[in-house]
Amino acid sequence: MNVFITGANRGIGLGFVQHYLGIGCEVWACYRNDRGGLTKIDNQHLHLVKWDVTQDKPTSIDGDLPVKINVLINNAGVYGPSEDADQSLNAVTPEGMLKVFDIDCVGAVRVVKMLWPSVVKAKGVIANISSKMGSSADNTSGGCYAYRAAKAALVIVSKSMAIDLAPKGVRVITLHPGWVRTDMTDDSGLVDVAESVGGMTQVIEHIEKYKPGDFVAFDGKVIPY
C-alpha cells in the first residue's frame, strides 16, 4: 500500500509515518525545510519529499512520486500567531489570517490538485486533518480567528472534494486528531500521538462507515460543523 503524508517531520505527521511503515507500507513523507524526526528513520520503504505546501509542487523527491496512492493524508498545518491574544478580534491581522489560511486550507487543495489522479488509480482515500476548533457548532469560547477560520474552510473544501471525487472511486474524509501532546500544543494535550494516530488510521481503514466528507474525531465520533 502506498501512503503519502504532508507535514510528516514531527508530531502527528511523524506518527502517521511510523504507523504506516510499521505495517509494511511504502510511505512518501513530506517536510518543508527541516527533516526533523524523519532523519532518525532507517527504512527502505520511506521516501522523503521536500514540499512546502504554499508551493504548487515539491522541490525534491527521493525517487519518483507514486503512480498509485492508496492513502493521501493532508496533515501539514500551523496554528498561526502563537499566543491566543494574538488571534483575538482586536489583535488578529489580515496578513496573519491569510498566512494560516494558505497553509492550513489552500495547501491541502494544492496537494490534491497535483496528486488526485494517483489516488483515483488506486481508488484510494484522502484524509484531511482539520480540528474541532473549525466547527461552528463546537465554538463556545470565540477567539482564535485565524486558526478556526482556516480549519473550518478545510472542512468545507474537503466536503467538496468528497462530492467531486466520489464518482471516480475516491473517498474523502475530514479528521479531528484530538488535543494531542505535540510541539503545537506545547505538550499540553489530552492524548498522545500514538493514540491519536491509532484512532485516525482506524477511521481511514473503515471509511465505508461514514458519509462522504464526514468530519470525524480520532475516536470515531462524527463532529457537527
| Single-letter residue type at 41 | I
DSSP 60-100: EESS---S--SEEEE------SSSGGGGSTTT--HHHHHHH
Contacts of 78 (CB under 8 A, 6+ apart): 99, 100, 103, 104, 184
Q: 3 and 28 in contact (C-beta within 8 Å)?
A: yes
Active-site annotation holds for 147:
yes
Task: Show the cell assigned to 122.
Answer: 488506486
From the list 20, 31, 79, 147, the catalytic residue is 147
CA distances from 152 to 129, 142, 156, 159, 192 (A): 11, 13, 7, 11, 24
Determine phi and psi for 29, rounding to 5 degrees.
Answer: -110, 120
Measured between alpha carbons, how far is residue 181 from residues 57, 113, 187, 196, 219 in Å? 30, 31, 4, 10, 16
Residues annotated as catalytic are 147
